[in-house]
């Protein structure tokens, strides 16, 4: 069954989102970090999840939990159909800060649909988590090449036999999301996976996260379309003033935008056999490659010793 | 003036290449690392340099010195045909001095070596402003890897080149259509590319297959400045391989193995930019080893004084 585009999902789910507009606003205010996930991204991801009707949503990377909240809300709106959320992140900001602020707004059942874990996703048992799932939405917002290797080499092979969709945050399509000025900003060049400041432009994609390169590589090798969410928004709404005005009336300017700044793909759209990168160790954090040479760079070696685990 | 593609250059310089063929083969054998730069790439780069006729060739990264040798030969030929050209080669490696130059002595005279300043030096510490001041036409060969060197090239060297006719040739990048006979795309035993340079873990992004970080940063740079990032193989395809009569003549002159569209290098020039240019802000220059040593000695003296006071 083809996957409904984010634009069609938004259109199909517009009434439902409009009905929950005040609640969405309250949830976003409670999380208090609308810069991490903008209101229109909330609405788009919520609609996409509602339309896709997953029985499992896996969230990689959470921080304060904007998207966690969005997906738990999707799970609530999908009830009585079963839908659970597994959220993995190294931070415990959700438990310490966000969840207490959400308690006045959300009941025990709302929280119970989620396993919000403070855990290194490189050591997580995805096979067990996916064992009962038939339809999975993966939200990828954890950064770095190590994580990309884990997702592409370990999680995607598990998803391939199931209906699934992978959504990617922190990627902009310069054609649809609005091109930032071409000038390099104060952060200069993109300097690799641990630096999240400098941006790179490759073709029509702008991003600051390392996994964007790994995903473009993966989808190129497998000839899988890598869809900018905004592409469908432009295709469906840009030249349709009737639908656009209805969405603006129902959702308001904050929840409706033709920009998206996220992408999605599914290996179900591969025209042939899917190839995956080897994942060095299935349930253990991968050992860093590069051997003894890495330790010849004392500054980097020191950082490596003292840094926390990735995510 | 438009820059001739590597294919057009290869065609235009065919008689020179044919005349030099035995010498180039001897040089390549003397360097003894055909896997670093194939004889086909030697010929393509030599033709491209000869056609461009730079008065300065700047080589970043040298290793055993295949390209050094190729560009010294270009400089010799440019001078022999009435021009002038010098080579500045920067690399941390001293293999050129220790091994390669000795092997080339039977083939090359002092004036051949004299056109090159073959420096064992950190690229980041070189004074490119002074180096480029007298240059009017520059050929930059970029074969040094990593983000730090890329930062130096894009933020320090490119602004200096922008006002001059120049080309930047980049090694270690393949085009997925023009350079690759086997277009199968499995990862095989390779891991995903993780930012490490010159490993066997390649990425395929936007038609480019590479394992060096500067490939990503060059794509970024050319995209922002709206300039084409040309696959040399594309030029070979359009200006050579699409013309059967050219292919036939080239094969007659140079032999079968040298006439192929596969090139595995790219080039770009800011001279092709349609509008205003943008450059990344340079990272602070790293302290040289000498100044680091001085700082450590000063700190040591301070510490000794404190201990003495106690």
Please give the model's pTM, rounded to 2 decimal places: 0.86
pLDDT over 80 at B247, yes or no: yes
- Based on the number of CB atoms within 10 Å of its own CB, is A215 exposed (0-12), middle (13-18) or buried (19 or more)? buried
Please give the full DSSP string across chain A, using - where no structure is assigned.
Answer: -PPPPHHHHHHHTHHHHHHTHHHHHHHHHHH--TTTS-HHHHHHHHHHHHHH--SEEEEE--TT-HHHHHHHHHHHHHTTS--EEEEEES--HIIIIIHHHHTTTS-HHHHHTEEEEES-GGG--HHHHHTT-SEEEEEE---SHHHHHHIIIIIHHHHHTSEEEEEEESEEETTTS-PPPSS--TT-S---TT--SS-EEETTEEES-THHHHHHHHHHHHT---EEHHHHHHHHHTT-HHHHHHHHHHHHHHH--S---EEEE-GGG-SS-------S-SSSPPPPPSGGGGGGSHHHHHHHHHSPPP-
Is a pLDDT exceeding 60 seen at residue A270? yes
pLDDT band at A294 (very low <50, low <70, confident <90, very high): very low
* pLDDT average, residue stretch B104-113: 96
A93 touches chain B (CB under 8 A): no
Tell me if chain A has a CB within 8 Å of the CB of B174.
Answer: no
Strand partners, A163: A135
pLDDT class of A279 with cuts at 50, 70, 90 = confident
The interface residues of chain A toward chain B in range 257-296, judged by CB-CB distance below 8 A, are 275-278, 280, 289-290
Strand ranges across the sheet with B138-142: B116-120, B86-91, B56-60, B138-142, B166-171, B265-268, B230-231
The mean pLDDT of chain B is 93
* Predicted local confidence at residue B289, as pLDDT: 62
Mean of the pLDDT values across residues A193-207?
83
Residue A45 has pLDDT above 80, yes or no: yes
CA–CA distance, A120 with A62 (Å, rounded to integer): 12
ipTM of the complex: 0.83
Cβ <8 Å between B191 and A149 = yes
User: Which region among A35-39, A172-176, A242-246, B194-198 has the lowest average model confidence (pLDDT)?
Assistant: B194-198
pLDDT value of position B91: 97
Task: Report the pLDDT value the prediction gives residue B199, as an integer from 0 to 100.
Answer: 79
Instruction: Tally A–B CB contacts below 8 A.
Output: 108
Mean pLDDT across B176-197: 82
The whole-angstrom distance between A94's CA and the closest CA on chain B is: 30
Question: What's the mean per-residue pLDDT of chain A?
Answer: 89
pLDDT for residue B48: 98
Gap between the Cα atoms of B281 and A189, Å rounded: 8
Name the token pair of B200: 């066997």
Partner A contacted by B275 (CB < 8 A): no
B/e letters for B226-252, b = 16+ CB within 10 Å, e = fewer, are ebebbbbbbbbbebbbeeeebbeebee
CA separation for the pair A257, A236 (Å, rounded): 12
Which pLDDT does position B27 carry in this prediction? Answer: 96
A192 vs B contacts (CB less than 8 Å)? 147, 195, 213
- How far apart (Å, rounded) are the C-alpha atoms in residues A214 and B194? 8
Chain A CB within 8 Å of residue B68 CB: no
**Out of A23-32, A177-186, B22-31, B159-168, which region has the weakest mean confidence (pLDDT)?**
A177-186
| Mean pLDDT along residues B184-200 | 81
Provide mean pLDDT across the span A239-259. 97
Least confident window among A8-17, A194-203, B58-67, B72-81 = A194-203
A84-102 average pLDDT score: 97
Q: Looking at residues A66-86, what average pLDDT do you find? A: 97
In the predicted model, is pLDDT for residue B198 greater than 60?
Answer: yes
- Average pLDDT on A229-247 reads 97
Looking at chain A, the whole-number percentage of residues with pLDDT higher than 90 is 79
A130 has a pLDDT exceeding 90 = yes
pLDDT of residue B288: 62
* A82 near B CB under 8 A: no
Predicted pLDDT at A293? 45
Q: How does pLDDT run across B35-75, given as a tens digit for each residue?
A: 999 999 999 999 999 999 999 999 999 999 999 999 999 99
Tell me what pLDDT residue A310 has: 31
Residue with tokens 């039977």: B106
> Is residue B214 scored above 90 in pLDDT?
yes
Mean pLDDT for the stretch of residues B242-270 = 96
Over 70: is that where the pLDDT of A90 sits? yes
Share of chain B above pLDDT 90, in %: 82
Confidence of residue A304 (pLDDT cuts 50, 70, 90): very low
**A198 has pLDDT over 50:** yes
Residue A139 has pLDDT above 60, yes or no: yes
What integer is the mean pLDDT of A44-54? 98
- pLDDT more than 70, % of chain A: 88
Between the alpha carbon of residue A102 and those of residues A24, A64, A189, B185, the distances in Å are: 12, 12, 39, 47
Residues in A touching B195 (Cβ below 8 Å): 145, 192-193, 210
d(CA B66, CA B28): 7
pLDDT band at B237; cut points 50, 70, 90: very high
Mutate to test the interface with A, among B158, B175, B192 (most CBs of A within 10 A): B192
**Which chain A residues are closer than 8 Å to B225 by Cβ?**
182
> Residue B295 pLDDT > 90, yes or no?
no
Average pLDDT of B235-256?
96
More confident residue, B198 or B51: B51
Q: Tell me, what's the pLDDT at B24?
A: 96
Residue B84 has pLDDT above 70, yes or no: yes
State the pLDDT confidence band at A131, using cuts at 50, 70 and 90.
very high
Q: Do A200 and B219 touch (CB under 8 A)?
A: yes
Tell me: pLDDT of A286 over 50. no
Instruction: Give the integer Cα–Cα distance in Å for B252 and B18.
Output: 9
């Amino acid at each position: 069954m083809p996957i409904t585009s984010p634009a069609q999902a938004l259109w199909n789910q517009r009434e439902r989102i409009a009905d929950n507009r005040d609640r969405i606003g309250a949830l976003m205010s409670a999380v208090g970090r609308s810069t991490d996930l903008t209101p229109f991204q909330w609405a788009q991801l919520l609609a996409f999840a509602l339309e896709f009707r997953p029985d499992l949503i896996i969230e990689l990377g959470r921080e304060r939990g904007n998207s966690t909240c969005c997906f738990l809300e999707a799970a609530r709106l999908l009830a009585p159909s079963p839908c659970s959320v597994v959220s993995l992140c190294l931070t415990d900001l959700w438990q310490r800060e966000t969840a207490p602020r959400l308690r006045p707004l959300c009941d025990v059942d709302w929280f119970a649909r989620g396993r919000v874990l403070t855990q290194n996703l490189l050591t997580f048992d995805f096979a067990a988590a996916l064992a009962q799932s038939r339809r999975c939405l993966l939200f990828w917002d954890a950064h770095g090449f190590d994580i990309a290797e884990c997702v592409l080499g370990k999680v995607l092979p598990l998803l391939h036999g199931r209906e699934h969709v992978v959504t990617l945050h922190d990627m902009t399509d310069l054609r649809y999301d609005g091109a930032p000025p071409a000038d390099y900003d104060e952060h200069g060049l993109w300097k690799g996976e641990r630096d999240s400041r400098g941006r790179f432009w490759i073709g029509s994609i702008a991003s600051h996260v390392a996994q964007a390169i790994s995903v473009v590589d993966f989808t190129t090798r497998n000839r899988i379309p890598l869809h900018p969410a905004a592409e469908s928004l432009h295709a469906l709404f840009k030249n349709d003033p009737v639908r656009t005005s209805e969405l603006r009336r129902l959702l308001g300017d904050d929840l409706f935008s033709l920009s998206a700044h996220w992408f999605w793909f599914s290996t179900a759209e591969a025209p042939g056999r899917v190839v995956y990168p080897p994942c060095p160790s299935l349930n253990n954090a991968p050992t860093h490659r590069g051997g003894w040479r890495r330790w010849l760079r004392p500054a980097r070696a020191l950082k490596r010793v003292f840094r926390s685990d990735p995510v | 003036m438009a820059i001739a593609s590597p294919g057009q250059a290869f065609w235009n310089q065919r008689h020179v290449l044919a005349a030099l063929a035995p010498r180039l083969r001897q040089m390549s054998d003397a360097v003894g690392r055909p896997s670093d730069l194939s004889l086909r790439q030697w010929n393509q780069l030599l033709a491209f340099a000869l056609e461009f006729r730079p008065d300065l060739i700047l080589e970043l990264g040298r290793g055993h010195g295949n390209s050094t040798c190729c560009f010294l030969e270009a400089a010799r030929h440019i001078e022999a045909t009435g021009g002038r050209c010098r080579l500045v080669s920067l690399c941390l490696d001293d293999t050129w001095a220790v091994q390669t130059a000795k092997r080339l002595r039977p083939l090359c005279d002092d004036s051949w070596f004299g056109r090159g300043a073959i420096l064992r030096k950190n690229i980041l510490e070189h004074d490119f402003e002074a180096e480029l001041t007298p240059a009017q036409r520059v050929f930059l060969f970029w074969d040094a890897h990593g983000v730090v060197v890329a930062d130096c090239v894009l933020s320090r060297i490119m602004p200096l080149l922008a006002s001059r006719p120049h080309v930047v040739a980049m090694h270690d990048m393949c085009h997925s259509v023009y350079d690759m006979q086997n277009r199968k795309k499995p990862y095989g035993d390779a891991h995903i590319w993780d930012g490490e340079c010159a490993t066997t873990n390649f990425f395929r992004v936007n038609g480019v297959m590479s394992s060096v970080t500067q490939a990503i940063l060059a794509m970024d740079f050319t995209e922002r400045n709206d300039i084409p990032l040309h696959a040399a193989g594309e030029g070979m395809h359009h200006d050579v391989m699409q013309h059967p009569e050219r292919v036939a003549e080239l094969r007659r002159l140079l032999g079968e193995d040298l006439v192929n569209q596969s090139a595995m290098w790219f080039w770009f020039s800011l001279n092709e930019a349609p509008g205003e240019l943008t450059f990344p802000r340079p990272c602070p220059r790293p302290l040289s080893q000498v100044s680091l040593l001085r700082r450590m000695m000063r700190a040591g003296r301070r510490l000794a004084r404190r201990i003495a006071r106690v």
